[in-house]
Amino acid sequence: MLLYRGLRIAVKARDNYYALLAAGLSFTIVFQAFLNIGVVSASLPLTGIPLPFISYGGTSLVITMGAIGLLPTISFATT
């Protein structure tokens, strides 16, 4: 759902910078989640990436929350 909404915001963005920013932030968060789930299920080798919004990650949590906060800002800037 996060990827869908992020890409929808990217498509409706007013210029290429905001479109690429929204798409990049969405893909980064979703990729981080898939990578963590793959490590936990033992189908990928161990990495140190925490699960977004769930795992204790300190700086990762702050950066992820900032990225999510930018998506509504980009969405409101397009209307």
**Cα dihedral angle (66, 67, 73, 75), rounded to 10 degrees?**
-160
Question: Do the beta carbons of residue 70 and residue 7 sit within 8 Å?
Answer: no
Alpha-carbon distance of 18 to 26, in angstroms, equals: 12
Question: Which of the four pLDDT bands, split at 50, 70 and 90, describes residue 48?
Answer: confident
Q: What is the pTM of this model?
A: 0.84
74: which residues sit within 8 A by CB, 6+ positions away?
9, 10, 13, 18, 21, 22
Is residue 42 pLDDT above 80, yes or no? yes
Is residue 55 pLDDT above 80, yes or no? no
